[in-house]
Structure 1
Amino acid sequence: MIAPRPVRWRDGDLRSGWPRRSLRTRLTLAASLAVAVVVVGVCAAAFLVIRYQLLRQLDLHLTQSARLAAQQYRHEPAGVVQGECRYLAAPACAQLAPARPGDDPAKPYLLPVTGITRAVAAGTHGAYYSELRLAGHRARMFTTRLDDGRALQVAVRADTVDQGVRQAAELLLAVGAGGVLLAGGLGFWVSRTGLAPVGRLTATAERITTTRDARHRIELPPGRAGREDELTRLAVAFNTMLEELEKSVSAQRRLVADASHELRTPLTALRTNAELLARSARLTDAQRERAAGALGRQLREVTVLVNDLIELAREEEPDPLVEDVQLAGVVGHAVDAARDHWPDVSFQLSVAPGAESGTVAGVPARLSRLLACLLDNAAKFSPPGRPVEATLTGCGDRLEVTVRDHGPGIADEDLPYVFDRFYRARTARALPGSGLGLAMARQIAHAHHAGLTAERAPGGGALFRLRLPTPSRTGSSHKVLRPPRDSDAP
Structure 2
Amino acid sequence: MALAATAAVAVVAVGMCVAAFLIVRAQLNHQLELNLTQYARLVAQRNHGVGPGVISGECRFLAAPGCAQVVPADPRNDPADPYTLPVTDTARAVAAGKHAPYYSEITVAGQPTRMLTTDFAPGRALQVATRSDTVERGVDQVARLLTLTCAIGVVTAGFLGSWVARTGLAPVTRLTATAERIAATRDPRHRIGPASPGPQGAPADEITRLAASFDVMLDELEKSVMARRRLVADASHELRTPLTALRTNAELLTRADRLTPRQRDRAASAVHRLLREVNRLVADLIELARDEEPRPLLERVALAPLLEHTVSTARDHWPGVAFEVRVTAAPVVPGVPARLTRLVGNLLDNAAKFSPPGQPVQVGLDAHELTVRDHGPGIAEEDLPYVFDRFYRATTARALPGSGLGLAMALQIARAHGAELTAERAPGGGALFRLTFPGRPG
- Measured against the shorter chain, the TM-score band is over 0.9
Q: Distance in 1 between matches of 2:80 and 2:385?
A: 125
Partner amino acid, structure 1, of 2:405? L
- Corresponding residue for 1:303? 279
Q: Distance in 2 between matches of 1:186 and 1:159?
A: 40
- Corresponding residue for 1:286? 262
- Corresponding residue for 2:432? 463
Residue 385 (structure 1) aligned to one of 358, 364, 377: 358
**Is residue 191 of structure 2 the alignment partner of residue 191 of structure 1?**
no
Q: Distance in 2 between matches of 1:304 and 1:40?
A: 78
Q: Distance in 2 between matches of 1:32 and 1:86?
A: 48
Q: Tell me by how many angstroms 1:147 deviates.
A: 4.3
- Ranges in structure 2 where 5+ consecutive residues have no aligned partner: none
1:227-268 deviation digits (Å, cap 9, x = unpaired): 432222222112111111111111111111111111111112
Q: Tell me by how many angstroms 1:152 deviates.
A: 1.1
1:328-382 deviation digits (Å, cap 9, x = unpaired): 1111111111111111100011111xx12x2111111111111000000000011
TM-score by length of 2: 0.94
- Corresponding residue for 2:387? 418
8 Å CA contact 1:361–1:470 kept in 2: the answer is: no
TM-score by length of 1: 0.85
Q: Distance in 2 between matches of 1:472 and 1:316?
A: 21
Q: Distance in 2 between matches of 1:443 and 1:375?
A: 16
**What SS class does the counterpart of residue 74 from structure 1 fall into?**
coil
Residue 321 (structure 1) aligned to one of 297, 304, 316: 297
**Is residue 223 of structure 2 the alignment partner of residue 247 of structure 1?**
yes
Partner amino acid, structure 1, of 2:358? G
**For this pair of structures, how many residues does the alignment match?**
440
Q: Distance in 2 between matches of 1:103 and 1:157?
A: 28
Q: Tell me by how many angstroms 1:451 deviates.
A: 0.8
1:438-468 deviation digits (Å, cap 9, x = unpaired): 1111111111111111111111111110112
- Corresponding residue for 1:375? 348
Q: Distance in 1 between matches of 2:207 and 2:138?
A: 50
**What SS class does the counterpart of residue 424 from structure 1 fall into?**
coil
Partner amino acid, structure 2, of 1:174? L
Going from structure 1 to structure 2, the CA distance change for 1:31 and 1:222 (only over 3 Å counts) comes to closer
8 Å CA contact 1:403–1:465 kept in 2: the answer is: yes
Q: Distance in 1 between matches of 2:351 and 2:296?
A: 30
Q: Distance in 1 between matches of 2:325 and 2:73?
A: 129
Q: Distance in 2 between matches of 1:219 and 1:438?
A: 37
Residue 276 (structure 1) aligned to one of 234, 247, 252: 252
Q: Distance in 2 between matches of 1:222 and 1:135?
A: 69
8 Å CA contact 1:317–1:444 kept in 2: the answer is: no
Q: Which moved more, 1:237-246 or 1:197-206?
A: 197-206
Q: Which moved more, 1:455-464 or 1:96-105?
A: 96-105
**What SS class does the counterpart of residue 67 from structure 1 fall into?**
helix
**What SS class does the counterpart of residue 469 from structure 1 fall into?**
coil
Going from structure 1 to structure 2, the CA distance change for 1:286 and 1:320 (only over 3 Å counts) comes to farther
Q: Tell me by how many angstroms 1:89 deviates.
A: 6.8
Q: Distance in 1 between matches of 2:324 and 2:91?
A: 126
Going from structure 1 to structure 2, the CA distance change for 1:88 and 1:346 (only over 3 Å counts) comes to closer
Q: Tell me by how many angstroms 1:163 deviates.
A: 1.1
Q: Distance in 2 between matches of 1:149 and 1:472?
A: 112
Q: Tell me by how many angstroms 1:86 deviates.
A: 6.5
Going from structure 1 to structure 2, the CA distance change for 1:78 and 1:272 (only over 3 Å counts) comes to same
Q: Distance in 1 between matches of 2:257 and 2:219?
A: 59
- Corresponding residue for 1:341? 317
Q: Distance in 2 between matches of 1:86 and 1:204?
A: 76
Partner amino acid, structure 1, of 2:222? E
Partner amino acid, structure 2, of 1:178? I
Q: Tell me by how many angstroms 1:47 deviates.
A: 1.3
- Ranges in structure 1 where 5+ consecutive residues have no aligned partner: 1-26, 474-490
8 Å CA contact 1:215–1:246 kept in 2: the answer is: yes
- Corresponding residue for 1:332? 308
Q: Distance in 1 between matches of 2:302 and 2:59?
A: 116
Q: Tell me by how many angstroms 1:424 deviates.
A: 0.7
Q: CA RMSD in A?
A: 2.0
Q: Distance in 1 between matches of 2:49 and 2:244?
A: 136
Runs of 4+ residues deviating >6 angstroms: 86-89
Partner amino acid, structure 2, of 1:125? H
Q: Tell me by how many angstroms 1:192 deviates.
A: 2.1
Q: Tell me by how many angstroms 1:158 deviates.
A: 0.9
Q: Tell me by how many angstroms 1:88 deviates.
A: 7.4
Going from structure 1 to structure 2, the CA distance change for 1:283 and 1:84 (only over 3 Å counts) comes to closer
8 Å CA contact 1:120–1:145 kept in 2: the answer is: yes
- Corresponding residue for 1:437? 406
**Is residue 180 of structure 2 the alignment partner of residue 211 of structure 1?**
no
**Is residue 130 of structure 2 the alignment partner of residue 150 of structure 1?**
no
Residue 417 (structure 2) aligned to one of 448, 457, 461: 448
- Corresponding residue for 1:106? 80
Residue 366 (structure 1) aligned to one of 339, 347, 359: 339
Q: Which moved more, 1:283-292 or 1:69-78?
A: 283-292
Q: Tell me by how many angstroms 1:176 deviates.
A: 2.2
Partner amino acid, structure 2, of 1:266? P
